[in-house]
Amino acid sequence: MSQADRISEFRSCEVLMLKSGGAFSECMLLTKNLEVLSGYTSRIGELLESLGDGKRGRKEEKQGEEDKVLPSMSPTAKELKEGVPPPNCIEFKGVTVGAPEPSGKTRVLIRELDLRVSPGLNVLVTGPNGAGKTSIFRVLAGLWQPLAGSTSRPVDPIMWLPQDPYLVTGTLRDQVTYPMLLRNPSEEVDARVRNALLEAGLKKILDRSTVGLDQVCKEWRNELSGGERQRMAFARLFFHNPKFAVLDEATSAINAEGELSLYSKLLKTQCTIFSIAHRTALRKFHKLELEFAGDGSGGYTFYKLDANGSGVTRVKVDSSKLDMEDAE
Ligand SMILES: Nc1ncnc2c1ncn2[C@@H]1O[C@H](COP(=O)(O)OP(=O)(O)OP(=O)(O)O)[C@@H](O)[C@H]1O
Ligand SMILES: [Mg+2]
């Protein structure tokens, strides 16, 4: 073999080796993507299964076989009849929550959570990122099955304020009344919508509009800043005035002063709130703090919060001694 042939063979081998290296790293990437896909598939499977369970539960209830009704997120007729759990409260009974991992294993986030939230007991949920704060509400909403235990929701709907609220395509009015979309709103409704916007500190959005509440935007997301979007969710809250609300870092983009003002207004309503927040300044608006350890143990601690003139006293409390009845 001539030298030129050897060089040419060497080049071909070099190219082949480079290509196989590339193919190998693509395979690695593909494996990772497949693991993520398997995680999603398993979650969707569980969701479909629990939806199926819910349907089955309702069907069996209709047939009068109440003892076969699977636990649902709202109290069943049987539970209400027996008074267990008491109506109009949120309850976690021995709830253990785990996060599914791509490997198929489950990581325990919280172990045996016992908590009953009667009207008036505002709870602040704290803990490190990834500790499972949002996850307990995924369980409460029925999106995740708990590993153990059960939850109950009140008869009244619970309003959810996420960190990044959804904005609907439509008018300014629609943003406030969502998920209720009104075709022919009365003057009384419009007055309530305007008031909700003012309460939420969105007067300038109203002033900016040339056609008042009928202002239409193709993409409201691009019209409002992050803080304004969160304020819009508060306008929704003030408009609907629900009995219970979960605020999941719902004021993270709002300045400290604005956040305190919104919470002060919220406290004047009849709404019982569950706040997930990192800012300790919010303690004064709550009666109980549930702190997640977030260290893989599934542990948690309760603190009774007591706002006074000089600040807030925070006293650790044994969960078995929690006296929820004094909430009202
Ligand atoms: N849809 C999901 N599918 C699988 N695992 C998830 C999903 N959402 C969250 N997790 C996992 O569950 C764990 C707890 O998440 P969670 O959202 O409850 O944390 P968090 O305490 O609310 O954190 P943060 O303060 O960052 O909002 C995280 O480790 C996360 O990776
Ligand atoms: Mg969260």
* Structure confidence by residue, pLDDT tens digits, 60-95: 333 333 322 223 334 445 554 555 555 689 999 999
Q: Give the residue whose CA is nearest to atom 28 of ligand 1.
A: 130
pLDDT value of residue 28:
67
Task: Please give the order of strands across the beta sheet that includes 90-100.
Answer: 106-117, 90-100, 148-152
Q: Which residue has the higher pLDDT, 184 or 291?
A: 291
Q: Using alpha carbons only, what angle is made at residue 198 by residues 267 and 161, rounded to the nearest 5 degrees?
A: 55
Ligand nearest to the CA of 126: 1
pLDDT value of residue 53:
54
From the CB of residue 292, how many other CB atoms can be counted at a distance below 10 Å? 24
Mean pLDDT (the chain, rounded): 84
Coil/strand/helix, residue 197: helix
Distance 27 CA to ligand 1 centre (A): 28
pLDDT value of residue 49:
65
pLDDT value of residue 47:
67
In the chain, what percentage of residues exceed pLDDT 90?
58
Distance 33 CA to ligand 2 centre (A): 24
Q: Give the residue whose CA is nearest to atom 16 of ligand 1.
A: 132
Distance 7 CA to ligand 1 centre (A): 55
Q: Which of 81, 80, 70 is nearest to 142 (CA)?
A: 70
pLDDT value of residue 71:
30
Ligand nearest to the CA of 130: 1
Ligand 1: residues with CB < 6 A are 43, 99-100, 109, 127, 129-135
Among 111, 125, 133, say which to mutate for ligand 1: greatest number of ligand atoms within 8 Å of CB: 133
User: Picking from 2-16, 36-50, 60-74, 294-308, which range would have the lowest pLDDT averaged per residue?
Assistant: 60-74
Ligand nearest to the CA of 131: 1
